Structure 1
Amino acid sequence: MAGITWHYVLKFIITGDAGVGKSSLLIRLTDQRFLANPDPTLGVEFGSKLIKIPDEEKIVKLQCWDTAGTESFRSITRSYYRGAAGCLLVYDVTSRASFIHAQSWLDDVREHADPHLTCILIGNKVDLCEDEMEGSTSRRREVSADEAEKWAKKEGMLFLEASAKSGRNVESAFEQASRDILHKIKGGVFDDDRSPGVKLSKSNGGVALDHVSNKQGCCS
């Protein structure tokens, strides 16, 4: 599909507690693979991918910043929130603590990111609950989809449950958030090229519609 260019570059951040699978979600998006035991993120890591939003007839380039989930890096990761147009707020469905802490991460994002940012709440690791029903693991679900969805709705967020291991809903999460951002652009909420997290493509060259992986560590 050479010759296809992207229409917008959208800045995303991925945030939440350490160990909820943020890096695994990013690797699944960019590389279509599952890394069972990724090294802890030190500061931030970066990945990018082109995705097509068919109903909008748009191709967007996602620039995703995976932020560390430990308090010691919080001052560093906050600086990457600035100007973000989209956010994946991630918790682990088998860890109630990570869901409770999501409020603190959301407060941080809303304080430092673009005020019109689109946030999607992601309940990761649903595969562990499915495995449990088959008797292959002792991990139990601690947060119901209904409870998480109600909280997301109350806070004005989108919501999906996902699995970085199986790939379930990973790309869909980014597609839903990107579609919401595109709707905001249409409505004049984001001021196109004058919004830091939304850049109109100026490329005249062709870009193939394949995943682009530039994952790299920062502040390590």
Structure 2
Amino acid sequence: MSSPPWNYIAKLVCIGDSGCGKSSLTIRLCEGRFSPQHDVTIGVEFGSRIVPVGPPHSKKISNPFSSSYESKDPSSTISNIPGDSKNAAAAADEEQKHMKLSLWDTAGQEIYKSVTRSYFRGASGALLVFDITRRATFVHATDWLNDLRTIAEPDIVVILVGNKLDCVQSEDSDDNNSKREVTFAEAQDWAQKNGVLQYVETSAKSGENVEAAFMRVAERIFENINAGKYDLNDRRSGVKGPGPGTAASRGVKLTANDGKGSSLTGCCY
């Protein structure tokens, strides 16, 4: 039997209020598309994508959010030092690792909360999504984070995502920020105070920063793997290595810019 096209599987959950675009972000990543027509997510929906993690791929890209807040982890094992020819040569000879992101898109409606909370268990990463044009969804982010940290594992990687950036970038508006209700600085400050890895603004509609947000979480999880923070034989850790006869052996390897594939259905923009 051939080896699976991934080295690790990581469970990620998308959480936040209903209508923030969690499903649209997941569909954009997995299928590379956006649909203005959508159904409200009921319970949870699922998608997946295999992405490269670590060098040599990580040596070729720079952090697109380098100007924003990012919490630092001294245990990080990936470096990118300009002019370090020895590191570059070593990365070139290193076999590229791949991670299968198992994406769980959860319902944001209060009526489904008791159900969706159960899916927080065994997650190694989370995208906490709010709508930058609806302040209430940002206010509720605190409750979502508290629920997540109560149920999920202590080392879960969380990134704060302000979605619907396209709504405040309209060239047809006299004031591009007329619809914005949460400033970048405010959300960035919240992320820093609450120990969240990073804050990023995305547009599921245009695709801006969507892939980079998911990849940032994947890279940090990979760093944590190298730091020995997960028991790869314990499903509760949210990360596992390949095993014989797993479903991953039927997957399709994708690079960060290749075509997408997903079993996800529905959309909630």
Q: TM > 0.5 between the two?
A: yes
The answer on 1:155 being equivalent to 2:194 is yes
Q: Secondary structure at the match of 1:40?
A: coil
- Structure 2 gap ranges (5+): 59-77, 79-95, 255-259
Q: 1:4 to 1:74 in 2, by over 3 A?
A: closer
User: Which stretch has the larger CA shift, 10-19 or 191-200?
Assistant: 191-200
CA RMSD of aligned residues (A): 2.2
Q: How does 1:1-220 map to 2 (within 5 A)?
A: 5-53=5-53, 54-55=57-58, 57-131=96-170, 133-135=171-173, 140-157=179-196, 158-196=198-236, 197-202=238-243, 205=249, 207-210=251-254, 211-216=260-265
Once the two structures are overlaid, the 10-residue window that deviates more, 185-194 or 137-146, is 137-146
The answer as to whether partners of 1:163 and 1:169 remain within 8 angstroms in 2 is: yes
Which secondary structure state, in structure 2, belongs to the residue aligned with residue 34 of structure 1? coil
Equivalent residue letter for 2:191: A
Number of paired residues? Answer: 215
Identity, % of aligned positions: 43
Task: Describe the superposition over 1:114-147 as per-residue Cα deviations: whole angstroms up to 9, x where unpaired.
Answer: 111000000000000001x532899611111111
Structure with more relative contact order (C-alpha pairs < 8 Å, separation 6 or more): 2
Give me the whole-angstrom Cα distance separating, in 1, the residues matched to 2:265 and 2:157: 25
The one-letter code of the counterpart of 2:25 is L
Whole-Å Cα distance in 1 between the matches of residues 113 and 135 of structure 2? Answer: 21
- Residue 209 of structure 1 deviates from its aligned partner by 2.1
**Highest Rg: 1 or 2?**
2
Mapped to 2, the partners of 1:79 and 1:4 lie a distance apart of: 28
> Retained in 2: the 8 A contact 1:128–1:139?
no
Q: Which runs of 4+ in 1 moved over 4 A?
A: 136-139, 203-207
Higher strand share: 1
TM-score by length of 2: 0.75
